[in-house]
Copies of this chain bind each other. A is one copy, B any other.
Amino acid sequence: MTQHREIRLSGSGGQGLQLSARILAQVFINAGAHVAQSQSYEPTSRGGMSRSDLVIDAGTPDYPLAAALDILLILDECAAGASDDILGKGALVLVDSERVKTVPENSAALPLIRKARELGNIRVANIIALGAINALAEFCSMEELENAVRGTVPARFLDLNLEALAAGYEMARHDGELKSA
């Protein structure tokens, strides 16, 4: 859990990527890692790309900006291509299968936003994505991820978020079984 890892969550503004980055950061901090988080905001006239980066390390990272991503999430086409330059070799890339048309090679594509709509709130697509990423990358137990959600998400949205987390995990596991079948 404290090995060096670089994770970028990207999409469009309003998709809750900063919240899901805080949840992920909490998972790694709870396991004793140091986490540097960074994000940038552009004036809305420039389009709505949003991203949040985490650099996880056993100690304070020498260089706190992402330089070779291990994990990349793309939830919207406006963020597609923006991270190609810093994609590490063998990186896990997860994209939303409906919203993202420009898909990097060897990506996993899942209907994350459609699932959020089915759960009744499109804003939990980011949490579904967290569950799916963990099913694919297996960096922690689902219990550790649930604990971080409990410590971060407002109480009245907790049940919905835990449901979203589980839905993402199941979706990605099922997809993995299909592919390897």
- Chain A residues with CB under 8 Å of chain B are 18, 22, 25, 29, 32-45, 60, 64-65, 154
Is B35 within 8 A of A40, CB to CB? yes
Residues of A contacting B: mostly? mixed
Is B40 within 8 A of A64, CB to CB? yes
Is B29 within 8 A of A34, CB to CB? no
Residue of B nearest to A39 (CB): B37
Copies in the complex: 2
Give the distance to chain B from A47, nearest Cβ to Cβ, in Å.
Answer: 12
Q: Give which listed residue, B18, B34, B39, B64, contacts A42 with CB less than 8 A.
A: B34
A-B contact pairs, 11 of them (CB 8 A): A29-B42, A29-B43, A32-B45, A34-B40, A34-B41, A34-B43, A36-B40, A37-B38, A38-B64, A42-B60, A65-B65
- State A135–B42 Cα separation when bound (angstroms): 26
Chain B residues with CB below 8 A from A64, complex form: 38, 40, 65
Chain B residues with CB below 8 A from A45, complex form: 32
Chain B residues with CB below 8 A from A29, complex form: 41-44
Residue of B nearest to A44 (CB): B29
Most buried by B among A18, A40, A64: A40
Give the distance to chain B from A103, nearest Cβ to Cβ, in Å.
Answer: 25
- State A38–B66 Cα separation when bound (angstroms): 12
